[in-house]
Amino acid sequence: MIRAAYSSAAPHRGARLWTGLSYTALLLAAFLVLTVLTAGPLQAVDLALNEPRDISTIRPGLEIVDRIGQRAVCLPILGLVAGWAVYRARSWRPAFVAAVSVLSVNAFVAVFKFSLERGEPLENEPGFLAGGVMYPSGHTANVVLVYGLAAYLWWRYTDSSRDTRWIMAFVVMLLTLIMIATSLTLRWHWFTDLIGGVLVGAAALRAATSIDLAIPFTPLTREESQVTRPVARHLSTRRQKVGSR
């Protein structure tokens, strides 16, 4: 049964949680260091990468691509994946993980945006307390967290293969790079805004997945069904591989 598959992994949960939260702390520390440097020496880098460019021919396409980081685009995708995971796992837990993670990262980003008030690239004002809301980038934070979480929920609560998981991870990294390049080219964000968003999104993703993996999972029904059997088999196989290392 799926309950047994999860409970037998209990000895590993504490270590996994500690490792995951340690990485989360490192990512947040890196974000804070970046924030301090962004207020000073890294502004020269931002200004150097903010040179005006003639992009009139490709601007319409770039503005469409930029939408991959908008909540109106990425959240419905996460909602569909979370809904499928809820159906497969017979539990509301995937939806809860998704909702709490998204709300948390957007609240975190909003606090820094409105507190630091960083100026806009189009005005060539990289300083803080300049009346803007640039730092950190919510778009890159959304790309890393939302698409990363969608990939995680898919392989965690469905019977996906190892190859599928690697493909999903590659897609998330590719979308992140595309988001950074697009925003830089459009001059809608400073480079450090975008990196800051990546760090925030990665920290939230690492925290969410680590906590979810550490907490015992109980489906809505105790009886193993056609829905839960693939998940139980997948988890049992993963546990055997970990134990053989």
Calculate ∠ Cα 193-196-198, nearest 5°: 115
The count of other CB atoms within 10 Å of the CB of residue 122 is 12
> What pLDDT was estimated at residue 233?
52
Distance, in Å, from the CA atom of 98 to the CA atom of 157, rounded to the nearest integer, reads 13
Tens place of pLDDT for every residue, the chain, 245 residues?
344 344 445 557 777 888 889 999 999 999 999 999 999 999 999 999 998 888 989 999 999 999 999 999 999 999 999 999 999 888 899 999 999 999 999 999 999 999 999 999 999 999 999 999 999 999 999 999 999 999 999 988 887 788 888 999 999 999 999 999 999 999 999 999 999 999 999 999 999 999 998 888 766 554 444 444 455 455 545 545 544 45
Closest CA to 97 of 213, 229, 235: 213
Peptide bond into 136 cis (omega under 30): yes
Give phi and psi for 39, each to the nearest 5.
-75, -10
**Polymer length of the chain:** 245
> What pLDDT was estimated at residue 185?
95
pTM: 0.83
Give phi and psi for 21, each to the nearest 5.
-70, -30
Domain residue extents for the chain: 2-239
Distance, in Å, from the CA atom of 116 to the CA atom of 233, rounded to the nearest integer, reads 49
> What pLDDT was estimated at residue 242?
44
137, 189 Cβ separation under 8 angstroms:
yes
Calculate ∠ Cα 63-35-107, nearest 5°: 65
H helix intervals, the chain: 2-7, 10-38, 43-48, 59-65, 71-89, 93-116, 138-142, 148-157, 162-186, 191-214, 229-244
Closest CA to 50 of 194, 178, 158, 146: 194
> What pLDDT was estimated at residue 8?
47
97, 78 Cβ separation under 8 angstroms:
no
Q: Is the dihedral of CA 206, 209, 211, 213 positive or negative?
A: negative
Distance, in Å, from the CA atom of 27 to the CA atom of 40, rounded to the nearest integer, reads 20
Angle formed by the axes of helices 162-186 and 191-214, nearest 10°: 150
